[in-house]
Amino acid sequence: MAVAFTGCEEFIQLVGSENDEPIEAKSFQKNLHNIQVGDLLWVKLEQRKNNNLTAKIVRKIKLSRRMVLGVYFHDKNGSFVSSTTRKDPKPYPIEPLKHSSVINGKYGYFEIRKSKKNSRKFKIFDFHLFGSITDVSSYSRIATIQWKIRDQFPKKVIEEAILITKNKNEENKEKYLRKNFITIDPHDAKDLDDAIFVEEDQDSKNKDGFIVYIAIADVSYFVNLGSEIDLEAKKRGNSTYFPDKVIPMLPEVISNEICSLKTGSFKRCIVAKITIDKNGNKLSHSFQRNFIKIANNFSYRQFNQFLEISFAENNEYAVYKRAYKILKRSMLLKNRLLLNFSEKKIEIGRKNFEVKIFEKKQLKSNELIELLMILANTSVAELLRTKSVNSISRIHPTPDDLAINELNILLQSFNWKKIRKESISSKEMNKILLVIEGSDNSYYLKQKLLGLLPKAVYSQGKANHFGLHLKSYCHFTSPIRRYADLTVHRALSFALGWEKNYYPLNETLRLICDTINLTERQSVQAERDSVDRYSALFMANQKSISYEANIIGASRFFVFVRLKLYPIEGVIPKNEFFKNKLKNLARQDTKTLNELGGQRVEVKLNSASPHNGTIYFSL
């Protein structure tokens, strides 16, 4: 019998169906590996005396093409299954199941085929229910299943993590680096992997210069190459961040406890010591492996007060404020691409369906950390290049000819001189952004610019990073949540002679890059889809139905709009323009409609479907 895996704690919870009825079973098998939520399994069922079903797992099986991840709905008008993906927007009219009222609102896999009784309907031959959409956590769980995000740690990984906590080595901690390190992170962050300390440089040759210490959690000390935790981390590639939870790359006892740079205990770190002159030029860098102690854990908002103009200059963090000003005009850092998008923030309340959505603007403290992390990453890339140690680079290609042509078309209304491939740079793009920033349709134009840029990827080879205006770059500062960074830590340890153990060969690095590029895309899409679902849930609960919006794009069948009141986007079917006597606009091709980006329109909410994140408006 085929069943789907829904979770794992003391036992493995399985769900399936038999004779149109939902069934549940438990498996108490040990040493099962690589089973994740949403996997379809072939099992043998056994009946126990207390009527509970137990299952013996035989093997994993592939999902049939007829299997739809969707939600079962039932009302007086009948039953239908609605897919959780926007690529399959039309609901399937279904012959009702025996217990339709009980299954109503449940989501899962449904095996659907054409009905032999009614050619206009479909029949469900098998189904596996994971939960109800009345549970607000279901929207991130749907994304987890849909994008195959690994959210269960195999038992061997958990056991290994527990062993690390018992055997963690703290020798020589009395020789720790005696600096008052601080962390600056989101207020709800638990996996704190970077800390900083800034001080004036006492060297008379570097008058008005400063020294910055950037301490990064030494994950590679605890997670050995080829260990069970390492193999699982490589499969995950990165942590995935949903509005209501985090699916970590590493077990939480490591990511949130041993390696997380919280106050109160000694923490193992790799520390970059970087000397900067008064003009923001980097004079030197060095690295050490040591213990540190955290003086304070700040949120971005808490620390931002120390960087504001109005704050007193004689406080202990005044040097951070001066360093921030100098780094902003540094030749190394000032030419990075400055899109300056506000972050869309979603907060989930304690009560079901209590969702808040707002824009979170970048603070000076955000920018300070961004600048320092770029500085650390660049220093590591330079050292690895000097030592001729191959590792994983973060590359961002230059826009191709097609993208540059599209950019020139976009800039015609600004009378901008024609951009050529040999002259395009992030510095040139920043000049364009400065002009765009003051226009009414700046959001639309910045989105278009972003869409023209190629995606940054991980590569075993060396190449430029267009967005940062750098010749070489790597990710080093987030080893708790990115496998690329963990690999770079190992490369650094190998280069500096801290570790004599085996280091991956070039071919292995290429395979790692292939894996983590894929998992990064999956995580980004899963995070985006969950945000869309919570946005639709938010809109479904709004009392108002009329909103002011801006056109932000178009496709063959839809015009895309963004609300002025909330950072929420939705679509208007193009036939709406016919209904509203705007036939001249409706007849325009997609390119012409895109040129109307930023135009204001009054829209009404037609529908919002949280299970697939679709929001439909009309004029």
Query: What pLDDT shows up at residue 85?
Result: 93
Task: Annotate 351-418 with DSSP letters as a single string.
Answer: STT-EEEEEEPPPHHHHHHHHHHHHHHHHHHHHHHHTT----EEEBPPP-HHHHHHHHHHTGGGTPPP
pLDDT at 458: 97
Q: Is 247 helix (H, G, I), strand (E, B) or coil?
A: strand
If one looks up domain 542-618 in CATH, what number appears? 2.40.50.140
For range 168-176, the mean pLDDT: 71
What is the structure's pLDDT at 321? 94
The pLDDT assigned to 178 comes to 93
CA–CA distance, 261 with 192 (Å, rounded to integer):
5
**pLDDT of amino acid 17:** 83
Mean pLDDT to the nearest integer, 534-539: 95
Average pLDDT over residues 77-83: 94
Rounded distance, CA 299 to CA 192, Å? 11
Q: Are 280 and 332 in contact (CB under 8 A)?
A: yes
- Round to whole Å and give the CA distance between 370 and 579: 48
In the chain, % of residues over pLDDT 90: 58
Using the 8-state DSSP alphabet, how is residue 174 labeled?
Answer: G
pLDDT of residue 182: 98
pLDDT of residue 447: 83
Q: Which of 59-68, 148-157, 589-598 has the highest mean pLDDT?
A: 148-157
- 486 has a pLDDT exceeding 90: yes
- Taking the C-alpha atoms of residue 331 and residue 125, their distance in angstroms, rounded to an integer, is 64
Greater model confidence, 30 or 303: 303
520 closest CA partner among 584, 455, 462: 455
Label residue 9 by pLDDT band (50, 70, 90): low
Residues 6+ apart with CB under 8 A from 468: 336, 337, 374, 396, 426
The mean pLDDT of 189-196, rounded to a whole number, is 97
Is 70 exceeded by the pLDDT of residue 581?
Answer: no
Q: pLDDT tens digits, residue range 223-259? A: 999 999 999 999 999 999 999 999 999 999 999 999 9
Mean pLDDT of 593-615: 84
Asked if 183 contacts 556 with a C-beta cutoff of 8 angstroms, the reply is no
What's the token pair of residue 258? 């041993």
Poorest-pLDDT segment among 8-17, 50-59, 200-209:
8-17
The predicted pLDDT at position 431 comes to 87
CA 59 to each of CA 44, 138, 150, 378: distance values in angstroms, whole numbers, following the listed order: 10, 27, 18, 46
pTM of this structure = 0.92
DSSP class of residue 120 equals: T
* Domain formed by 2-61, architecture: Beta Barrel (2.40)
Measured distance CA(305)–CA(300) in Å, rounded: 9
Q: Domain 67-132 - what CATH class?
A: mainly beta
The answer on pLDDT for 314 being more than 90 is no
> What is the pLDDT, as a whole number, of residue 590?
47
Q: Which residues contact 438 (CB under 8 A, 6 or more apart)?
A: none
Predicted confidence at residue 435, as pLDDT, reads 81
pLDDT level of residue 5 (50, 70, 90 thresholds): low
Q: Where are the domains of the chain?
A: 2-61, 67-132, 155-397+454-531, 404-452, 542-618
The answer to whether residues 70 and 111 touch, using CB atoms and an 8 Å cutoff, is: no
pLDDT of residue 510: 94
